[in-house]
Structure 1
Amino acid sequence: MSRLPRSTPEAQGLSAAALDAFVAALDASEPEIQTVMLLRHGHVVLEEEWSPYRLTDPHLLFSVSKSFTSTAAGLAIEAGLLSLDDQVISFFEPDELPETISDNLAAMKVRHLLTMTTGHDQDTVDALSRDRRMIKVFLGLDVEHEPGTVFVYNSGATYMVSAILQRLTGERVLDYLRPRLFEPLGATEATWQVSKEGITVGGWGLSINTESLACFGQLLLQRGQWEGKQLVPAEWYEAATSKQVSNDNQENPDWKQGYGFQFWRGRHNTYRGDGAFGQFCLVFPEYDAALIVTSATTDMQAILNTVWDHLLPALEGKEVAAVARPERLELAAPSGPAPTAGDGQTYRFTEPTVTGLVAVRLDPDGTGVLSFSDDHDRVYELVCAPGNWNEQTKPLDDASAEAGNRVLTSAYGDGDAFVATIRWVETPFVAKLTCRVADGTMTVDGDVNVSFGPTTFSITSEA
């Protein structure tokens, strides 16, 4: 059920032709766009999905999650549970702290976690995520600079905000926000990754659908008010979305306009929550508008450039050249010859890959069965066959959940190779896996569209 009213663009002071031109520009751009929703004056005036992606599917938001953790912090501050100037070390037990507490660690406050000015030289998340004791690892790291003096994007800092909130509220951040934010917004589909030590990871891992994120954008525009109720203090969002610290040391122009409490400032007096590979909740306070984008790209600046070039003029009421909207917004399945018949044997792999591939079986009918291991060491199978996208499911990250995430597969033949394409459509991730059998072993050459590590790999099956 729709939670936001719909309207024609013209009724909200926008040109439908200008929005058509914006959609056309997104469709023609290098970044792969998956869903888009635009709000103006509290109304949805544009909503598009590039098939097989759907506006109604939950989508992994990566670091947009940070803006929700910021919201939880604001609520806890309003409740008197903590303040921005509380010492970070004050929330943790002696056995979690290092034997020697440096002056810089002692000086680290909650505000430094929220503004990414903890004093660390680099993001701490890699050091944390490899260990079950993430709190203890964070507190044991060297703090090279005086807190508050240097901006370094630091997802580990947001994890510590989540950990502090859990200590204070007795609830994981997701559960704390459910009655206070997610349920009032109708975002009941929300899930959030939990660390090995049982804490909502805070800085990443939240999944909600496009309209739920649009509701959050509208809540920001309304300074925390929703359906006549003040869900979040207006003063918190005013502070959180304002420039709290300078971040001139960043490279891209829209990432060096200042940073708030887990919100980025942007050009043209905008602010946003954004996440890896092109997830955006972009707010235009001057124009009472919010834009939601889910996508898959390594060039997030390119998406913002398209927004400034094609959407901003429409919001400003400028004349925009008419460009026809594409008749169909679609990310079609790859096409090619039918695969040759397989030998029906299962080839197993022990080398780790970004996809989690553990086994492949190519059957005589030209289909392939690919097995993957997830983060909970559960193995799930995906059937890859020629033709249009074939929809299947994989287990949710929540190991106790009964439902699954949508996955789309297709395959074609390339000489003696079986080429499978897999879209985990509730994430940005797409993999192309080229499988060849020779001399009793299989080699898989993998190519993934986006990744925090290598985007290509080659593995060979066990003898």
Structure 2
Amino acid sequence: MTQRKKIWLEKIISSSYSNTAGIMIQKEGKTLYEKYFNGYTAANSVHVASVTKSIFSALIGIAIENDYIKSIDQKVLDFFPDYTVKLGEKTIQSITIKDMITMTAPYKYKSEPYEKFFKSDNWINAALDLLGGKGQVGQFMYSAIIGTHILSGILVKATGQSVSDFARENLFSPLEIHIGDNVVLNNKEEHIAFFQDKNASGWVVDPQGVNTAGWGLTLTLKDMAKIGQLYLDDGLWNDKQIIPAWWIDESTKEHSRCSQWGNLPYGYLWWIIDEKEHIYAALGDGGNVIYINKKNKMVISIASFFVPNAKDRIKLIKEYIEPTFENDNSQ
């Protein structure tokens, strides 16, 4: 990459994507570009928001491969035998793990009642109370926080471990990713402070100590890049199969489609950017991205601190980053 192109790219980032903390671009396993902004360094972690979902998808695949979960066709309520279904409710009884990870489970709300959910003393029960209703199973309905937390409960019930312990043992430790302590948020003010914290660390837990599946995880830019490279390499890391290759293949195919955001295809908690070219991404609020271009063997990781209505990073990647780096094989 020429110095001129580098200055041009960084000018675009500074002017139009000013909440960026860091960008790393890899091709064929080599780092072509690594740059930090706004006082961030390689040591700083950020709250990656919904990128957490895509990482949690890997944990579900690992749990299935190791026979903790029979299959994604298992019913959600199989894992919560003590949960009492309300009289006359049938839809919730048919909902499967697959419905949850493809965002095709229905809920009893039009928009997520976050405050009510967070104020409850048991987030998983509160989420189960909102699952089902009169909606149709199989229709895309994105659940940013509430529905995905049920997946955390399923993983804990299936494995007998905390989410963070299972993740460390089976995913993070082999990649030498260090996750900080559990984060307890006691009130609205603490929630807001966590989202706004430019030095966030750890993984959010609910009142029972269950880590969140849809948000709440903090990672460094290099951690994000490692996850991306692991997916690009079909789950293989240092000659060890960390995530089953079959799971990555299935996770990054279209299984549903989000009509509300540009008719974008959705896999198993991964966004499918271009199925033909095999490009997919983990996308988190504020502009956090792990972008994998299988055809070009590229991984683009972007860490950002939260601002409302952050500019779309996919546009940055497709219009500026990829054209600049796709033919660059320098190190």
Tell whether the structures are fold-level matches, with TM greater than 0.5.
yes
Given candidates 173, 177, 182, the residue that maps to 2:172 is: 182
SS at match of 1:62: coil
Which protein has the bigger strand share?
1
Given candidates 294, 299, 303, the residue that maps to 1:285 is: 294
Please say if residues 18 and 311 of structure 1, whose CA atoms lie closer than 8 Å, have aligned partners that are also in contact: no
Please say if residues 58 and 209 of structure 1, whose CA atoms lie closer than 8 Å, have aligned partners that are also in contact: yes
Matching of residues 37-436 of structure 1 within 5 Å? 37-82=24-69, 83-94=71-82, 96-100=83-87, 102-120=89-107, 121-122=109-110, 124=112, 126=114, 127-141=116-130, 142-190=132-180, 191-247=202-258, 249-251=259-261, 253=262, 256-267=263-274, 269-295=278-304, 296-317=306-327
- The C-alpha deviation readout for 1:27-46, integer Å capped at 9, x for no partner, is 22154221111111101111
* Structure with higher RCO (Cα < 8 A, 6+ apart): 2
Q: Does 2:20 correspond to 1:33? A: yes
Question: Which shifted more, 148-157 or 205-214?
Answer: 148-157
Instruction: Describe the shift of the 1:124–1:243 C-alpha distance in structure 2 as closer, same or farther (beyond 3 A).
Output: same
Instruction: Tell which structure's C-alpha radius of gyration is larger.
Output: 1
Separation in 2, partners of 1:281, 1:102: 39
SS at match of 2:257: coil
SS at match of 2:264: coil
- The C-alpha deviation readout for 1:62-108, integer Å capped at 9, x for no partner, is 111111211110011111222111111111133x3233262211111
CA drift at 1:17: 4.8
CA RMSD between the two structures: 2.1
SS at match of 1:147: coil
Quick one: which amino acid aligns to residue 253 of structure 2? Answer: S
Count of equivalent residues = 300
Instruction: Describe the shift of the 1:184–1:20 C-alpha distance in structure 2 as closer, same or farther (beyond 3 A).
Output: farther
CA drift at 1:312: 2.1
CA drift at 1:22: 2.4
Normalization by structure 2: what TM-score?
0.84
SS at match of 1:261: coil
Instruction: Describe the shift of the 1:31–1:158 C-alpha distance in structure 2 as closer, same or farther (beyond 3 A).
Output: same
Question: Which shifted more, 65-74 or 21-30?
Answer: 21-30
Separation in 2, partners of 1:159, 1:125: 14
SS at match of 1:162: helix
Separation in 2, partners of 1:297, 1:91: 37
- In the other structure, the counterpart of 2:9 is 22
Instruction: Describe the shift of the 1:304–1:297 C-alpha distance in structure 2 as closer, same or farther (beyond 3 A).
Output: farther
Identity across the alignment (%): 23
Quick one: which amino acid aligns to residue 217 of structure 1? Answer: G
SS at match of 2:315: helix
Normalization by structure 1: what TM-score?
0.61
Please say if residues 84 and 109 of structure 1, whose CA atoms lie closer than 8 Å, have aligned partners that are also in contact: yes
Instruction: Describe the shift of the 1:17–1:97 C-alpha distance in structure 2 as closer, same or farther (beyond 3 A).
Output: farther
Instruction: Describe the shift of the 1:300–1:235 C-alpha distance in structure 2 as closer, same or farther (beyond 3 A).
Output: farther
Separation in 2, partners of 1:259, 1:300: 21
- The C-alpha deviation readout for 1:177-221, integer Å capped at 9, x for no partner, is 112111111102443111012211111111121101110110010
Please say if residues 287 and 312 of structure 2, whose CA atoms lie closer than 8 Å, have aligned partners that are also in contact: no
Instruction: Describe the shift of the 1:301–1:51 C-alpha distance in structure 2 as closer, same or farther (beyond 3 A).
Output: closer
SS at match of 2:324: helix
